[in-house]
Structure 1
């Protein structure tokens, strides 16, 4: 018996390598795990992002559509738009701006290095 979900997805639509927020991710990983590979996005935040976008967290990330991927990327870059509480952000009350922000990838490294110096 063939699964109806798998029959809708063809092998031709599968993306083996994706780029999300500047990070190359294997398409064979589950979406919740794949998103947590982006620096600054943990497992819990990836679950919140996928839940807010109504995306199955256990689908292989290679089967996601281009629209879903762009929605995920926009949510990662603008984390405040999905209704995450302030305590969930990784930079509350920034020393320079005083705002609550969430940094990812090299921005997180750069800011952390500047704080130490």
Structure 2
């Protein structure tokens, strides 16, 4: 993701889907996780936009991938609240997203240690 519109669209998907989960499709579940995701998105969006403005998108490549994963998880949660997906498909999607998330976390940790050594 190297342009502003992709970050804005991805963030809008996250925010809108979590607002829908808070209001229309709330089945009496906790709202703290939805609020946390919305706050994190509002916090990260200006950082991503400033990285795009200064042509430093390579520095936030992993984080922008995490933003895509947050958007996909938010949509997956919204779809599961509207209509339950088949268990096998749901489990496969969850495993893929968790695997990618763990990989991104590991890559971020490696990048932090490499930057400390310099």
Fold match (TM-score > 0.5): no
TM-score norm. by structure 1 comes to: 0.32
TM-score norm. by structure 2 comes to: 0.31
Task: Specify which structure has the higher proportion of helix.
Answer: 2
Report which structure shows greater RCO (CA 8 Å, sep ≥6): 2
